[in-house]
Amino acid sequence: MAYNESDVKNDAPDAAQGLPPETRREEITGHVNKSRSCRVEELAEIFGVSAMTIHRDLEQLAKEGRVERIRGGARAITARLAERDVRLRRHLNAEVKRQLAATAAQLIERNSVIALDDSTTIGALGSYLEEREPSTVITHSLALMGAVSAMAHIDMVGLGGQYYAETDSFLGSIVVEQAQRLMADAVFVSTTAIKNQALLHPDAEAARTKRSLLQMGRRKILVMDSSKFESAGIYHVMDLAEIDDVVIDDQLDQRLMSELQGLGPRIHIVST
């Protein structure tokens, strides 16, 4: 028997029936993230569609990096898994990243030169660039290069070098050498870990590249969610005391927030 998107079970919850495919997939992603893992049969019951439709939904969501496909169902993308693949990281804590980016965008001055790193948190700033009207964007992120190149009134300087598919960006000595010849009014970066009052990263080339971007900026702006504090990291990027602004969500432990405030950056707290 063939199934299609309109296959609906009569005993399914009314609120979940009749959703457009993309809306249903968004709801499935949220349910999997909340439950950590779900079986096909459970999702078919909740959303009032056939198991075959759920199989197709999960295949599409896995292809987009929004869930991890497992035998008989799907499970949430974890931070450890996502760190290996930018395709996965773009969907991890996506709403928090959007909220952080919306606040960080307010720090972009009109006609300024800004530099953006290749993190998915900073990548979310791409949606706000046209309305904030910087004169120039400097970046080593291939995704941001593509986005900015379509913005007629914003100049772009792309930092090229060795391309890394895992980060969808250019990293290494060539990028560092190019960055050393440039200056920016503001640099926006994120990182995977904050510990011992320093920005850390698990990859040496990424840490070196982020450091070179930060050093070109008159104003250094860190954008990150609170879960990165006290996380593991190996390679030093920059001391927190050298950062001018920190954009962070409101879930940071009070002790850590007090330590951060003591270092002197302007702190912009995002209510999530």
If you average pLDDT over residues 187-197, what whole number do you get?
92
Largest CA distance in the chain: 66
Q: Is 180 exposed, middle or buried (0-12, 13-18, 19+ CB in 10 A)?
A: exposed
Query: Residue 53: pLDDT band by 50, 70, 90 thresholds?
Result: very high
Distance CA 97, CA 138 (A): 20
Mean pLDDT, all residues of the chain: 86
All residues at 6 or more sequence positions from 129 whose CB lies less than 8 Å from its CB, including other chains: 105, 108, 137, 147, 148, 151, 154
- CATH number of this structure's domain 14-76, picked from the four choices 1.10.260.30, 2.70.150.10, 1.10.10.10, 2.30.30.140: 1.10.10.10
Q: How far is CA 215 from the centre of its chain?
A: 22
Task: Indicate if the pLDDT at residue 229 is higher than 90.
Answer: no
pLDDT tens-place string over residues 75-93? 886 554 445 555 555 556 6
Question: What pLDDT sits at residue 82?
Answer: 46
Task: Indicate if the pLDDT at residue 122 is higher than 80.
Answer: yes
Sheet-wide strand order for 193-195: 193-195, 198-201, 235-239
Q: What are the sequence ranges of the domains in the chain?
A: 14-76, 88-270
Distance CA 116, CA 142 (A): 11
Question: What pLDDT sits at residue 9?
Answer: 41
Contact 266, 244 (CB under 8 A): yes
- Tokens 């999702």 locate to 43
All residues at 6 or more sequence positions from 159 whose CB lies less than 8 Å from its CB, including other chains: 138, 139, 140, 170, 175, 178, 179
Higher pLDDT, 229 or 111: 111
Question: What pLDDT sits at residue 10?
Answer: 39
Please state which of the ranges 16-20, 89-93, 212-216, 266-270 shows the lowest mean pLDDT.
89-93
As assigned by CATH, the class of the 88-270 domain is alpha beta
Task: Indicate if the pLDDT at residue 5 is higher than 50.
Answer: no
Give the phi and the psi of residue 110 in degrees, each rounded to 5. -60, 135
Question: What pLDDT sits at residue 178?
Answer: 96
